[in-house]
Structure 1
């Protein structure tokens, strides 16, 4: 008799667990109420074909240069068009035209800052204070 009670209780517990699992499969999933934080050492965003389109990465310190955080936006051709970088000693922003021959670089390196603009025909303008 005692064995039948234990088996009956165990069966009831199993049925309750099975019902709980079934409900989690039927009910829609909900996002958490608060905004979450995504943590990692880098982030890559790819398009439907699996091509890299954007990335945020940390470049380690090498050859006397400081560690750098780099954000890149990449169009379909795979060549980065926008780059933003930051380190302890400098920060920079670059825009590259579709032809890869025209670009703008805005850079602050320690106490110095400069703006360099290059046109496809080779014309170049450097602006510095």
Structure 2
């Protein structure tokens, strides 16, 4: 009789747990209000192999240059292919070819602007107003 009572209690507990698990899996997750902004010192997006493929961060001021916000899109080999930067004195955009020897830089620094085009053989053209 005692054994049957213990088995009955255990069966009842299992049934309650089973129903509890079933209810939690059926109900969808509901967001709690409007999500706030993500805040931090930087953000990195990695691929399946753990390599950083995109990043945004703040580069500290260096000698002769002010603090810069920099966004990078990175090739699987680790080379940044696209960069967008903004600082107190200017902004720029660069695209680097797969060979790392050809690139385009569009920049506005203070009152001056220019577009620099460089090809693999070292040919270069600078366009400025």
Alignment TM-score, normalising by the size of structure 2: 0.76
Aligned twin of 1:64: 64
Aligned length: 110
Aligned twin of 1:45: 45
Q: Distance in 2 between matches of 1:76 and 1:64?
A: 32
Q: Distance in 2 between matches of 1:71 and 1:78?
A: 14
Question: Is there any run of 5+ residues in structure 1 with no aligned partner, and where?
Answer: 1-18
- How far did 1:35 drift? 4.3
**Cα displacement string for residues 93-121 of structure 1 (whole angstroms, at most 9, x for unaligned residues):** 00000011110000100000000000111
Q: Distance in 2 between matches of 1:122 and 1:52?
A: 29
Alignment TM-score, normalising by the size of structure 1: 0.76
Q: Distance in 1 between matches of 2:126 and 2:99?
A: 20
Give matches, 1:14-93, under 5 Å. 26=25, 27-93=27-93
Question: Is there any run of 5+ residues in structure 2 with no aligned partner, and where?
Answer: 1-16
RMSD over aligned Cα, in angstroms?
2.1
**Cα displacement string for residues 28-55 of structure 1 (whole angstroms, at most 9, x for unaligned residues):** 4333453431111100000011000000
Aligned twin of 1:113: 113
Q: Distance in 2 between matches of 1:59 and 1:120?
A: 28
Q: Distance in 2 between matches of 1:32 and 1:45?
A: 26
Distance 1:42-1:116 versus aligned 2 partners, 3 A rule: same
